[in-house]
Structure 1
Amino acid sequence: MAFSAAGNSGPLAQINVTPLVDVMLVLLIIFIVTAPMVSMPIPVNLPQRTTTVVPPTDPPPPIELRVDASNQLSWNGQAMPVAGLQARLHEQAQAHAGNLPELRINTDPGSEYEVTARILAAASNAHLDRIAFVQ
């Protein structure tokens, strides 16, 4: 709102349109720049309908890993060294390539974190992504 000068005591009812024109010009430039991008087609590969039915496969049994207070690792109740875990997880991933088993890790509160970190690193290297921590 503008104010009058020299004698008029009331305010003038004039709107300053300069900011409005600036905003409109910026919007016009944005639309001019983006209009060619919108009109170009984007290739999308959509899934196609198939008539073959793939029978569902049963998930493989989960792998139960237990770390006790003395940092000893057991695979489904059988003791094994931590050093051999990577190879055994890799074998399981190869055997169940399409349907990876779930890895269930049960650790004793007195065990060291380093053993759990090695288990998680071995599972990550074997591309096992279904990991559960159980009690």
Structure 2
Amino acid sequence: MPWLKDLYYNTITPINVRDYNAAQIAAWASTAERVDALRQRIEDQYFYVAENDARQIIGFASLTSDGEIDMLYVHKDFQGCGVASRLLQRLLDQATELGLSELVTYASITARPFFEKRGFTVVELYPVTINDVTWNTYEMKRS
């Protein structure tokens, strides 16, 4: 499981600095230490990983059975290479298999444009607080 923790942490810290301050990044990245919670998500959700040709894990994504895209993270060195799009497509395919008519996600400021380009719309601003630090994300939906 260290690969998941490392990829998660090392995606948040360099990628989201353009939209969040140091305290927000530190609070968000601290959740990588919640290994048991991450393990539980793998067990309880539809969880997918992306690998490159060298079999290095370069991204992961998860979907709950009720239609929440809970996680979608791509290694910092593979941003803009289509990894997130392929992972999202797998989640959309899974949602179709489950007969879900609507998906929801809570997207960071950084991820908002990615989801908007793929048919998600902002429902409302969704503040997150961890370790007494608050930052904004967006509740987004797609039918």
Q: What is the TM-score with the length of structure 2 in the denominator? A: 0.28
TM-score with structure 1 length normalisation?
Answer: 0.30
Higher strand share: 2
- The structure in which a higher percent of residues are helix is 2
